[in-house]
Amino acid sequence: MTDRLVQLLECFELKANVFQTGPLCHSGDFGTEKDVGYIHILQQGSLLVESNKHKPLTLSEPSLILYMDTTQHRLIPIKKATHTLCASFEFGAGLVNPIFSGFPEVICLQLEDLTDLKNALHLLFKEASDNHCGRQAVLNRLIEVVFIQILRDLMDEQRIHIGLLAGLAEPRLEKALNALHKEPAKAWSLEELASTAGMSRARFAAKFRDIVGMTPGYYLSEWRICIAQALINKGKPIQLIADTVGYASASALSRAFKAHRGVTPTEWAKQNKNI
């Protein structure tokens, strides 16, 4: 079976940081940092989650809350014996990337429904309750594993109905998306992508737009820009990046980059403190 996530994870360099474990004694505000998402896990007790972007959530069962973009929110413990584990995460290209297209403001899942995450969560909670050397590093790695398993669950259980993960959950679109992810510099035609998916040109174009939320051509351009962002973060020269993602020159990449992000690659790098 083709790995639907390997190209995404290789490109975007997931990094997570567990910053709170155990009793949540007072309310906390999150979501003010740029390009940072959050995972909150309610282990026991009751929790109120407030945000101006969604209705209040009252949780009384062990649950996982996921914010995939910079959304300001507040956690308010309802009972004294409320225990949580909270982590932030980021990607090398920021949170504007295809992985998060089509996501709601917040995803909330009960832990009992996440059976495939049972072992990873057990290890995570055990490490959080102990005080071994290297604890922080282990917690950070384990929450990254949990995050990847969440993405897998969202696809396998078809919890997301539009966007990249929804496309990867559709067997025919998955073939085209994997091929495109693997060879971003290739001058893909609609006919080639449709053939890879085993569909007619018209049927493929319509299904791709309906499920992924954009045309195949626009998605390819967006994927190239996201790779470019990741490579800029690694300090690669613009001409090399242009060659890698399929643009004939640095100026051509700069024009495409500005069309998608509103700034040139150099300006974006300065904003993200990479040069």
Contact between 19 and 86 under an 8 Å Cβ cutoff? The reply is yes
Residue 128's pLDDT band, with cuts at 50, 70 and 90, is very high
Q: Which residues pair with 20 in a beta bridge?
A: 86
The 10s digit of each residue's pLDDT in 221-243 is: 999 998 898 888 888 999 999 99
Residue with tokens 């995570």: 124
- Distance separating alpha carbons of residues 38 and 64, to the nearest angstrom: 10
| pLDDT at residue 216, rounded to an integer | 95
Report the first-to-last Cα separation within the chain, whole angstroms.
Answer: 40
Residue 92's pLDDT band, with cuts at 50, 70 and 90, is low
Domain ranges, ordered by start, for the chain: 6-156, 172-271
| pLDDT at residue 93, rounded to an integer | 58
- Degrees (nearest 5) of the Cα angle 15, 46, 51? 60
The 10s digit of each residue's pLDDT in 27-86 is: 999 988 877 889 999 999 999 999 999 999 999 999 999 998 778 999 999 988 999 999
Find out if CATH 3.40.50.2300 is the number for domain 6-156.
Answer: no
Residue 181: alpha-carbon gap to chain centroid: 15
Q: Which CATH architecture has domain 172-271?
A: Orthogonal Bundle (1.10)
pTM over 0.75: yes
The H or E element that residue 50 is part of is strand 47-51
Residue 105's pLDDT band, with cuts at 50, 70 and 90, is confident
